[in-house]
């Protein structure tokens, strides 16, 4: 597979791709050789501030070149990366910093009008391990804040290059590379430990499925703090020579302008992004696009066909993954629209996939299953059984070709009149109704049946009667929702998952 540590991958990319563009962020345009030098400078700055191999470095930034340099610099010097969800509240962020015992924090000074560091300080939390705080100005000029460093100030003090090169040499494939915290949609976020070899392994498999090459230019809208943006984004670029173009916040006009100006060819994202592009496709040049990878929400076969026919994507893939395993299954180039829409592909990255028990939980096993949860052996033992199977909490089916269909989440299932209903199946059916742009289904209490379905629909030109009639034609009576609510948008976390507990609270 080649190099199996991230420092080695960064070096090899510089040697192999040289001056070719590695990273484009506004006025910042770095070749792979430049990127290596910048990464080394960040690693030297961390070392100069007392960050040792094995220490944890937290990065709380949106998708910018600073995130890439801070993260790779930490990893290059042998530290463990702790990406912070930019949607987390100050209290949630403090919890993450305490539990990870972070020695350094690189934080946005002013993202979306909020001073993230000031909000952390305002909690009054004691953070005795946190020795270095780097505030990165994104929207306003840098202003000094006592006890913190600006980005340029941070880089001004450098340990010897030989010292960080020795640290990079010392990183082993099985060393912990990062701790990604789960989205926390069903309780307290858990810290997922991954090794360097695992990050490289899943990124390699993702790149192979998408046929990513050094001719590609990859717009990364998926957040870097999520494995989709970091491992299937930044690391894929390093492995293949593709140019990474980060976007801090999805904004359709900006996205379309970036696609046209930078000749973007690779664009992963949630289905709503592609629906938006289809709606506005006549207002920009999208002809450079060739690869789309989508997931995290139901995908209609009609959407896949339109993406190919009307935008010109050569390859449209769906995938299934989770923080504990990153990328488990992917479709393959050449799969037809129904297969891409109706399944999440077949096993990749050395994974075995199986269905256990009734109603049929998806379990996965292989070299890229997480090392475990941070400081939580009980939760680790509950998630990974004695035979090495990771229990995902998702329910699904495998066909004869090994293609996986996700039918729901164990925790999302509701029982209507004694029958199990998986909202994902109902949601998938509704994606085929013209006018539906987004949909989520939950179970709500019912005196007679126990629970019945309620559909939250984002769309135009629809009525409750029309939605229910469509469902009745395609679904068993117990699966057909009894109620429909039309909303402007669904509450989602930054990874694209619908926050169904918020919909439940709204209904209560």
Residue pLDDT, tens place only, 74-92: 999 999 999 998 888 888 8
Number of H helices, E strands in the chain: 18, 25
Q: Which residue has tokens 């504990």?
A: 324
Q: Which CATH class is domain 6-173?
A: alpha beta
Q: How high is the pLDDT of residue 418?
A: 76
Which pLDDT belongs to residue 187? Answer: 58
Three-state DSSP class for 169? helix
What is the pLDDT at residue 501? Answer: 83
430-454, pLDDT tens digit by residue? 988 999 999 999 999 988 888 899 9
Spatial CB neighbours of 425, under 8 Å, sequence gap ≥ 6: 407, 408, 475, 479
User: How many beta carbons lie within 10 A of that of residue 388, not counting itself?
Assistant: 12
CATH placement of domain 250-408: 3.40.50.12780
329-330 β-sheet, strand order: 291-294, 315-320, 329-330, 346-347
pLDDT given for residue 508 in this prediction: 62
Residue percentage of the chain with pLDDT more than 70 = 97
**Amino acid 420: pLDDT:** 76
Q: Work out the mean pLDDT of the chain and round it to a whole number.
A: 93
Going by C-alpha positions, the residue among 117, 106, 109 that lies closest to residue 71 is 106
How much is the pLDDT for 446?
Answer: 86
6-173 and 250-408 share one CATH topology? yes
- Please say if the pLDDT value at position 1 is more than 60: no
Q: How far is CA 133 from CA 59, 105, 281, 320, in A?
A: 10, 5, 43, 36
CA dist list (Å): 145 to 133, 138, 142, 150, 269: 10, 15, 9, 8, 37
Local confidence band at 247 (pLDDT 50, 70, 90 cut-offs):
very high
Give the integer Cα–Cα distance in Å for 180 and 322. 11
Kindly report, residue by residue over 148-204, the tens digit of the pLDDT: 999 999 999 999 999 999 999 999 999 999 999 986 555 578 999 999 999 999 999
Domain ranges for the chain, please list them.
Answer: 6-173, 250-408, 412-507
Question: How many angstroms separate the CA atoms of 475 and 455, rounded?
Answer: 14
User: How much is the average pLDDT of 40-45?
Assistant: 98
Q: What is the mean pLDDT of residues 136-145?
A: 88
Question: Which neighbouring-strand residues pair with 431?
Answer: none
Q: 412-507 — its CATH code?
A: 3.30.300.30
- DSSP per residue over 263-288, as a string? T--B----HHHHHHHHHTGGGS--TT
What DSSP designation does 314 have?
S
Distance of alpha carbon 296 from the chain centroid: 9
pLDDT at position 413 is: 81
Angle at the Cα of 258 from the Cα atoms of 257 and 263, rounded to 5 degrees: 110
Predicted confidence (pLDDT) at residue 119 exceeds the cutoff of 60: yes
The pLDDT of 416-423, averaged and rounded, is 82
pTM exceeds 0.85, yes or no: yes
Is the pLDDT confidence value at 26 over 50? yes
pLDDT of residue 296: 60
């Amino acid at each position: 597979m080649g190099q199996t540590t991230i420092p080695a991958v960064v070096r090899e990319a510089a040697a192999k791709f040289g001056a070719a563009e590695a990273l484009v962020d506004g006025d910042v345009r770095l070749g792979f050789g430049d990127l290596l030098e910048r990464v080394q400078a960040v690693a030297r700055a961390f070392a100069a501030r007392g960050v040792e191999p094995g220490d944890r470095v937290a990065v709380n930034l949106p998708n910018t070149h600073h995130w890439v340099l801070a993260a790779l610099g930490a990893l290059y010097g042998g530290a463990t990366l702790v990406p912070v969800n930019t949607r987390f509240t100050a209290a949630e962020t403090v919890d993450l910093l305490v539990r990870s015992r972070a020695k350094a924090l690189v934080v946005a000074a002013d993202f979306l009008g909020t001073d993230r560091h000031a909000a952390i300080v305002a909690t009054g939390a004691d953070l005795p391990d946190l020795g270095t705080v780097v505030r990165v100005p994104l929207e306003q000029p840098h202003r000094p804040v006592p006890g913190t460093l600006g980005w340029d100030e941070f880089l001004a003090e450098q340990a010897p290059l030989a010292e960080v090169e020795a640290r990079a040499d010392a990183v082993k494939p099985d060393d912990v590379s990062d701790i990604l915290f789960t989205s926390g949609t069903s309780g307290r976020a858990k810290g997922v430990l991954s090794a360097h070899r695992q990050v490289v392994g899943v990124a390699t498999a993702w790149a192979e499925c998408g046929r990513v090459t050094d001719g590609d230019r990859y717009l990364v809208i998926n957040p870097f703090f999520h494995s989709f943006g970091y491992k299937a984004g930044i690391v894929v670029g390093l492995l293949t020579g593709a140019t990474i173009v980060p976007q801090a916040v999805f904004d359709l006009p900006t996205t379309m302008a970036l696609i046209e100006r930078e000749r973007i060819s690779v664009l992963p994202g949630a289905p709503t992004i592609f629906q938006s592009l289809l709606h506005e496709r006549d207002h920009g040049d999208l002809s450079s696009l060739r690869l789309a990878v989508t997931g995290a929400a139901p995908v209609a076969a009609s959407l896949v066909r339109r993406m190919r026919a009307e935008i010109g994507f050569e390859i449209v893939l769906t995938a299934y993954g989770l923080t504990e395993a990153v990328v488990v299954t992917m479709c393959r180039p050449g799969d037809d629209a129904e297969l891409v829409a109706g399944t999440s592909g077949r096993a990749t990255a050395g994974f075995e996939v199986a269905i256990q028990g009734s109603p049929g939980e998806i379990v996965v096993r292989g070299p890229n299953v997480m090392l475990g949860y941070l400081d939580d052996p009980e939760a680790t033992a509950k998630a990974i059984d004695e035979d090495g199977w990771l229990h995902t909490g998702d329910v699904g089916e495998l066909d004869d070709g090994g293609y996986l269909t996700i039918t729901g989440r164990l925790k999302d299932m509701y029982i209507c009149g004694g029958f199990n209903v998986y909202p994902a199946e109902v949601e998938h059916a509704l994606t085929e109704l013209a006018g539906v742009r987004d949909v989520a289904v939950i179970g709500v209490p019912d005196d007679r049946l126990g629970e019945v379905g309620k559909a939250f629909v984002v769309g135009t030109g629809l009525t409750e009667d029309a939605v229910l009639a469509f469902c009745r034609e395609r679904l068993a009576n117990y699966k057909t929702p009894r109620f429909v609510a039309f909303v402007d948008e669904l509450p989602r976390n930054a990874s694209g998952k619908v926050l169904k507990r918020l919909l439940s609270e709204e209904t209560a």
